[in-house]
Amino acid sequence: MINKQHLIDRFISYVTVDTESDPASETTPSTAKQWDLANALAQELKDIGMTDVTIDENAYIMATLPSNVDHEVPTIGFVSHFDTSPDFTGANVKPQIIENYDGKDIVLNAEKDIILSPSYFDDLLQYKGQTLITTDGNTLLGADDKAGITEIVSAMEYLIQHPEIKHGPIRVGFTPDEEIGRGAHKFDVEKFGAEWAYTMDGSQIGELEYENFNAAGATVKVKGKIVHPGYAKGKLVNSMYIATDFINSLPRLETPEHTEGYQGFFHLHGMEGKVEETVLKYIIRDHDKGHFEARKEVMQKLANEINSEYGREVIEIEIKDQYFNMKEKVEPVMHIVDIAEEAMKELNIKPIIKPIRGGTDGSQLSYMGLPCPNIFAGGHNFHGRYEYVPVESMIKATEVICKIAELTALKK
């Protein structure tokens, strides 16, 4: 049995370290504070008995649990990231532990009237009677993906302490900067040396995913002309009005709040404007490669049309691909998904096989030669003040890792 309190203590020790990444930075890791947890993790892996523990100049951590069987077993891996999203602050995280959750509203912050309510977040009702870890309403929690790290470290520790559980060689990897799309950029797949791996970066218990969005980011710069408003007739061009036209010309219902499942979207996630210049930040997502390319073309065509209307370039658009759907790389080796599914079933967990409405390090790693499906880490409502994780889900995820290792060793 996984020690519940030990797991809680480990998780809290991770989330109370600020590891927010920064998309504006060009270093790796993108923030110096990520080193604080990275160095601690490397030491912890040594302390629990892992071998070949390394941390490179970019804070990528790798370690090995040697095989304890006398027959040849494929080397498998487990990967998680230790940075947290820049979308919401991860500084001064103060976790709250809710024992034996009663299914009612949880007051995160009485002073600010911040409530985590099952009437809005109905997934909460799945966890009545369980132990929840929440925020205090002022920060995110960091279960994305410090729950995954907790589970991987706890599973390795458990396997070391229970040599009666047979397994082949296991590699673990922890990465910086996943939240800004760079988690796999400097990951040395050859050094990692696994035939396949699993990211522990999903959400609710049972999730098993091998499909994800194709993803791109778009920066739209809108140029205006500033003139004193008292003398502006026929001269002033307000970039914010042009930007509004651009925003409103994209399909209004093809946004995150109106889509689900395999449906793609345009997501305006940042905007900064003055009369002379407005900058829009978009992400573009679609599971279907053809639809993904069409979305990029729609944005470029719209910019061209507005430029034509003004008779000059008032809109400049830059679109950069970020990652692609891992399905193409995982389907030829579907046995790696089958093993994870079997592991869950043996642990009485109902597998939820569905597409990821996002991406993980695994999507990029799959294209780098390391097929890498994604498994639940247990958290909900990532990247905001309403984030929470059931402890029992983290325990189950830890058990899934152990069971995958055991099943892989049995499949000679």
Supply the residues annotated as catalytic: 83, 178
Q: Is 350 exposed, middle or buried (0-12, 13-18, 19+ CB in 10 A)?
A: exposed
CA–CA gap between residue 249 and residue 300 (Å, rounded): 12
Q: Is 102 exposed, middle or buried (0-12, 13-18, 19+ CB in 10 A)?
A: exposed
Contact 215, 320 (CB under 8 A): no
Q: Is 5 exposed, middle or buried (0-12, 13-18, 19+ CB in 10 A)?
A: exposed
Residue 77 structure tokens: 């891996």
Contact 198, 330 (CB under 8 A): no
Q: Which amino acid, 370?
A: L
CA–CA gap between residue 144 and residue 140 (Å, rounded): 9
Q: What is the DSSP string of 316-343?
A: EEEEEEEE--THHHHGGGTHHHHHHHHH
Q: Which residues fall within 8 angstroms of residue 318, CB to CB, at 6 or more apart?
A: 218, 219
Q: Which residues fall within 8 angstroms of residue 227, CB to CB, at 6 or more apart?
A: 235, 236
CA dihedral 186, 187, 188, 189 (to 10 degrees): -140
What pairs with residue 202 in β-bridges? 376
Between strands 170-175 and 132-134, the pairing is unpaired
CA–CA gap between residue 1 and residue 59 (Å, rounded): 32
Q: Report the run of H or E that residue 201 belongs to, with start and end.
A: strand 196-202
Q: Report the run of H or E that residue 55 belongs to, with start and end.
A: strand 51-55
DSSP label at residue 110: T
Contact 103, 124 (CB under 8 A): yes
Q: Which amino acid, 408?
A: T
Q: What is the DSSP string of 230-287?
A: GG-TTT-B-HHHHHHHHHHHS-TTSSGGG--TT--EEEEEEEEE-SSEEEEEEEEEES
